[in-house]
Amino acid sequence: MADSLDKLRGKINAFVEERDWAQFHSPKNLAMAMIVEAAELVEHFQWNTEEESRVLTEAKRVQVGHELADTFVYLLRLAEVLDIDLIEAANSKILLNAKKYPVEKARGSNAKYTEYL
For the stretch 62-77, pLDDT in tens is 999 999 999 999 999 9
Fold of 2-84: Helix Hairpins (1.10.287)
pTM for the whole thing?
0.88
HEC string of 61-102 equals HHHHHHHHHHHHHHHHHHHHHHCCCHHHHHHHHHHHHHHHCC
Domain ranges of the chain: 2-84, 87-117
For the stretch 30-89, pLDDT in tens is 999 999 999 999 999 999 999 999 999 999 999 999 999 999 999 999 999 999 999 999
Helix or strand run (H / E) with residue 115? none
Cβ(87)–Cβ(79) below 8 Å: no
Q: Which 3 state secondary structure label does DSSP give 101? A: coil
